[in-house]
Amino acid sequence: MTNKNDAGKSAAEHPVVRYVNQVRVRYNDTDRMSFVYHGNYAMYFEVSRLEMLRSRGLTYKKMEEEGGVMLPVSDLHIKYIHPAFYDDLLDVEVTLLEKPSVRVRFGYRVTNQDGVLICTGEVVLACVDAKTRRPTRAPEYFLKCFPEFDR
């Protein structure tokens, strides 16, 4: 059976835009049970997403100041599978799930240094005009940073 996404194409027909960022769990990231506090995974997602964008020549600052676009989070889902602990080295894999439009969807997969799956997640960002604060399409300069979707 082939999985279909929102566009009706199989996953194999879509380009894969993937980036891996390493995050070391700090002591202050953990809770009283010595697990990484659940809310910190959203921060790990954000830091890794920003590094992915930076690797493509994009920064939030540049997008807001020069491009007039903001990307607030409109949806966040996290599936916790296994705890992470102080001093673990986590690989946060970020995947751009579809061609950006009015929304930008990222998928996440976090594993520890032993390859154990810690959590998965998805974040949806809304493209918003910085002046009007109304939804807008992803600007051309943003799309050009992901040539994989030009096929």
For the four alpha carbons of 32, 38, 42 and 47, in that order, the dihedral sign comes to: positive
Neighbours of 12 (CB within 10 A): 8
Annotation says 31 is catalytic: yes
Determine the Cα–Cα distance for residues 118 and 75; give it in Å rounded to an integer.
20
Distance between alpha carbon 76 and the CA centroid of its chain, in Å? 10
Half-sphere exposure of 147 (CA within 13 A, CB side): 2
Of 6, 29, 31, 88, which residue is the catalytic one? 31
- What are the catalytic residues? 31
